Structure 1
Amino acid sequence: MHRIADRIEAEAVELAVLGVRDNGTEFNMALKAEPGSAAGTFRYYAEALDKVAGEVAPTQPDVLGLVHRTPVGVVGAIVPWNFPLMIGAWKLAPALAMGNSVVLKPAETASLTLLRLAQICVECGLPDGVFNVVTGSGAETGAALAMSMGVDVLTFTGSGGTGRKLLEASARSNLKRCYLELGGKSPNIVFGDAPDLQKAARVSAMGIFRNSGQVCVAGSRLLVEASVHDEFVALLKAEAEALRVGDPLDLGNQIGAVNSEEQLRRNLSFMDMARAEGGQVITGGARILAETGGSYMAPTIVTHVARDHALFQREVFGPVLSVTKFETEAEAVSLANATDFGLAAGVWTADLSRAHRMVAAIRAGVVHVNTYGGADNTVPLGGVGQSGNGHDKSLHALDKYVDLKTAWIQL
């Protein structure tokens, strides 16, 4: 696993460019988030795997109770197109560390980096057949993987609709365990006592607009206390309009392309819904025509979004931020928890007690305080509600890829 990490680092630029050609992520971000993150993930689990031991149970004096952790067998992994190498490594590295074989299906529009990773693994000494990449459509290849009687655990990152189909396939096949990291509609909450509104605006802008909003934990719902609403929205608008959008291989651009024409059309359809429901598009909301062609969308901010609006409730997975005003802390909590999702959240406040109250009250797997994004392998990533179950990253991810076996030994 250390050799795999070394090779990923040695080929970082090439791997980043492969990914950019597939999914349009801006190069500077791709370099860090894809090969940079993947190499770190392999190193983390390479160091962790010999720290995970069995257990000795506190039993009767004449009995020895042992709890063994055994590999589940074959892990099926289905990963999305936004960060295929990073998310693929989140699933592959802990599964390998626990002694399993993996069959991985990348997204139809972003498979190049994972095909190269499979070659790297073989070149670094992983036995043939331990890690397999199988390309194809979700309807055909993904369904076959989900229905396979030879797959013992299925791990997936993607949409809620697909997650439901995978659960149904598990029920119809061998009742394989399914771990689902699904969508999000994450609230980013700015209180009037935020320590630095300019910094909060800058970080919040990248929290939704980086990678053209195609980030599962993106802070796509901005909740702003009424006392600073107008000031903060103005700061955020300036940040959004200053971002350079264009060719993801141009190092001067900060935002790259939307993954596909289909995704861009879906993003733009939300603009029609937002206007029909009374939302006000204060910046963006349209396609950017680039000389190189391609699918580009301007960073978009929509104000006057109520809790029953589509833009408040539904995941866009694009560079679209909804803004909703609140008056009290209790109202902020109510708005934050007013969707079916529960993946991530952000809170900006100088009040330490309030920060702890918000972390406890918000229904989400990750709550950022006075920042947004950037958590590393030491902490888990997972959601609650319709954002799924199970966790990637951290030592907790290893639990998905083992079975527990009790040995009860009469002495």
Structure 2
Amino acid sequence: MSEKDRNYYARVAQSLRLPTAVAFIDGAYVAPVSGLVMETRNPATGDVIGTVAHCQIADVNRAVAAARRAFNDGTWSRAAPEERKRVLLRLAQLVREHSEQLAVLESLDSGKPIRDCLREIDVEVPATFEWYAELIDKTFGKVAPTGGDACALIVKEPMGVAGLVLPWNFPLLMAAWKLGPTLASGCSAVVKPAEQTSLSTLRLAELASEAGLPPGVLNVVPGMGETAGRAVGCHNDIDVVSFTGSTEVGRCFLSYASESNLKPVGLEMGGKSPFIVLADAPITDELIENAITSAFWNGGQNCSANMRQIVDVAVRDEFLRRVVERARQIVVGDPLDPRTQLGPMITPEHRERVLDYVAHGKSEGAQVALDLAHAYDERPGWFVGPTVFSDMTAAMKIAREEIFGPVLGVIGVSGLDQALAVANDTDYGLHATVYTRDLNAALLAARRLACGTVAINGFTEGDIKTPFGGYKRSGSLARDKGTEALDQYLQSKTIWIGVHQP
């Protein structure tokens, strides 16, 4: 990457063939029935970079009909496991072959730094499709123990048509997290990307068709949440929904299911995740780098962002000094520049929301150790600079609500018990990080933290083999990633066979 500069990626951007004013239904780009379109803007400049279909109920109905036909005719749902595996492996290969163009497209559309887009799309996205492809022919049913007069089989079958609703912060990666197990299971899919970031998902659908996915198996309906999203959630011919986004909208999808066919809904929602540093943890460069990454990665626009940094008072001063020093070094700028580490917020409205939280923190009495929130106000686009609150308390609004921006707050505690009490004092339960040299304390914390993922001595969400999801208002029992993700899209069937004795 170091040999390629901003000018190189700008040339790639100029060469892109952007989907224009379309959805992807039944194996082809199509215009919306209404003719309505939405502009998509580059968050780094505010410039319009293209248009996508503004799908309405008629477009979702058309997509669901295609998905249902494809599921019922069995070209994918009943295809040999080896065939589904071949197509997904080919899709992974095509993503790698086009990863540079996809990464630039996603950077333009979302404002994510190109360095992050390249890592996700060249590595994680194809690896996800490959992992689920390899799982297809290694997933077995069971034979239940019976007497000699019967044989009882327990088999897994695809749910049918899956509605997949994506967030804007990791567009293509979340598409892969959901499409990998959906397609591996044999389901058909209707994908509703976030209205802010639809372009890379539309291109992915085209690549899937090139890989050999039959028409109708994968459909993409861009649109607003209150129109296309609601139509997906309420549709009586969609059998299961998987949603990643805010807790507020997740509630809506539960309501949509109750109003329609009571379809199961998998939810991965908001977070307010803690980064715990106990008194025995050495304040190393590695620890500080993880503290910075956990809060500022993807501009803090990450549901598992560890912006509540709960630090024992014995090491708090050194921790805070070094975090502020490192945060000052974060390169904020043009997402197409490989040196950039922090890009813009996704929309001007979201930028204002983040700035309002910073202002509210100050009004609550939190001291600001680093105040760069407005340092980029004169720059085109929707930038917010890194902000560090030095003495946040657990009761403050900025400590309780998801900010979804580059804001880090330090809370001082004394001992493990107080650290865990503060960490669990939240409506959310998605992720936590714990730094300690004490193995017993690490295991105790991991068991007592009410969240879906606990990382010890390093900030990580795990990898494709480990399930990801939340407790409390961060999610439901459903999980993305791992073999557990398949459970969302498969249902169990018992086949009881009577055996007549001679």
The gaps in structure 2 that reach 5 residues or longer are 1-87
1:62-101 to structure 2, matched below 5 A, reads 62-101=149-188
Tell which structure's C-alpha radius of gyration is larger.
2
* 1:140 aligned onto 2:220: no
Whole-angstrom CA distance in 2 between matches of 1:266 and 1:59: 61
Q: Could you say which residue in structure 2 is the equivalent of 1:226? A: 313
Whole-angstrom CA distance in 2 between matches of 1:116 and 1:292: 30
Contact 1:188 1:223 in 2 (8 A): yes
Q: Could you say which residue in structure 1 is the equivalent of 2:247? A: 160
1:321-340 to structure 2, matched below 5 A, reads 321-340=408-427
Contact 1:57 1:65 in 2 (8 A): yes
Q: Structure 1 residue 196: deviation in Å?
A: 4.3
What amino acid is the match of 2:284? L
Match of 2:407 among 308, 320, 324: 320
* 1:378 aligned onto 2:465: yes
Contact 1:34 1:83 in 2 (8 A): no
Whole-angstrom CA distance in 2 between matches of 1:207 and 1:214: 11
Q: Could you say which residue in structure 1 is the equivalent of 2:493? A: 405
* 1:178 aligned onto 2:234: no
Match of 1:352 among 439, 458, 473: 439
* 1:393 aligned onto 2:498: no
What amino acid is the match of 1:230? D
Contact 1:302 1:323 in 2 (8 A): yes
Whole-angstrom CA distance in 1 between matches of 2:339 and 2:377: 15
1:228-247 to structure 2, matched below 5 A, reads 228-247=315-334
Match of 1:260 among 347, 356, 363: 347
Contact 2:299 2:405 in 1 (8 A): yes
Matched residue SS, 2:333: coil
Over the aligned positions, Cα root-mean-square deviation in angstroms equals 1.1
1:29-44 to structure 2, matched below 5 A, reads 29-44=116-131
Q: Structure 1 residue 354: deviation in Å?
A: 0.7
Whole-angstrom CA distance in 2 between matches of 1:50 and 1:134: 30
1:113-128 to structure 2, matched below 5 A, reads 113-128=200-215
Matched residue SS, 2:228: helix
> In the comparison of the two structures, how many residue pairs are matched?
411
Whole-angstrom CA distance in 2 between matches of 1:347 and 1:140: 41
1:296-311 to structure 2, matched below 5 A, reads 296-311=383-398
* 1:46 aligned onto 2:121: no
* 1:58 aligned onto 2:132: no
Contact 1:35 1:85 in 2 (8 A): no
Contact 2:185 2:486 in 1 (8 A): yes
Matched residue SS, 1:92: helix
Identity rate, percent: 40
Matched residue SS, 1:387: coil
Q: Structure 1 residue 237: deviation in Å?
A: 0.5
Whole-angstrom CA distance in 2 between matches of 1:374 and 1:183: 15
Q: Structure 1 residue 290: deviation in Å?
A: 7.0
Whole-angstrom CA distance in 2 between matches of 1:291 and 1:266: 18
Q: Structure 1 residue 285: deviation in Å?
A: 4.8
Whole-angstrom CA distance in 2 between matches of 1:284 and 1:380: 36
Whole-angstrom CA distance in 2 between matches of 1:195 and 1:51: 44
C-alpha spacing 1:290/1:252, structure 2 compared with 1 (3 Å): farther
Q: Structure 1 residue 199: deviation in Å?
A: 1.8
* 1:284 aligned onto 2:284: no
Give the TM-score normalised by structure 1.
0.98
Whole-angstrom CA distance in 2 between matches of 1:137 and 1:285: 33
What amino acid is the match of 1:245? V
Contact 1:240 1:299 in 2 (8 A): yes
Q: Structure 1 residue 304: deviation in Å?
A: 1.7
Matched residue SS, 2:309: strand
Moved more, 75-84 or 268-277: 268-277
Matched residue SS, 1:367: strand
Deviation sequence 1:194-221 (CA, Å, 0-9, x none): 1443321111101111111011111110
Matched residue SS, 2:156: strand
Deviation sequence 1:243-301 (CA, Å, 0-9, x none): 11011101111111111111110000001211121111111352343776111111111
Q: Structure 1 residue 375: deviation in Å?
A: 1.6
What amino acid is the match of 1:358? A
Whole-angstrom CA distance in 2 between matches of 1:395 and 1:39: 17
Q: Structure 1 residue 186: deviation in Å?
A: 0.2
What amino acid is the match of 2:482? S
Deviation sequence 1:11-69 (CA, Å, 0-9, x none): 01100001011111111111112342110100000001111111111222322111110
What amino acid is the match of 1:234? R
Q: Could you say which residue in structure 1 is the equivalent of 2:32? A: none
Contact 1:268 1:285 in 2 (8 A): no
Matched residue SS, 2:392: coil
What amino acid is the match of 1:347? V
Contact 1:343 1:366 in 2 (8 A): yes
Contact 2:453 2:461 in 1 (8 A): no
Match of 1:274 among 349, 361, 384: 361
The gaps in structure 1 that reach 5 residues or longer are none
Task: Tell me which stretches of 4 or more aligned residues in structure 1 moved more than 3 Å.
Answer: none
Whole-angstrom CA distance in 2 between matches of 1:271 and 1:62: 70
* 1:208 aligned onto 2:295: yes
Contact 2:455 2:461 in 1 (8 A): no
Matched residue SS, 1:368: strand
* 1:368 aligned onto 2:475: no
What amino acid is the match of 1:246? G
Matched residue SS, 2:310: strand
Matched residue SS, 2:450: coil
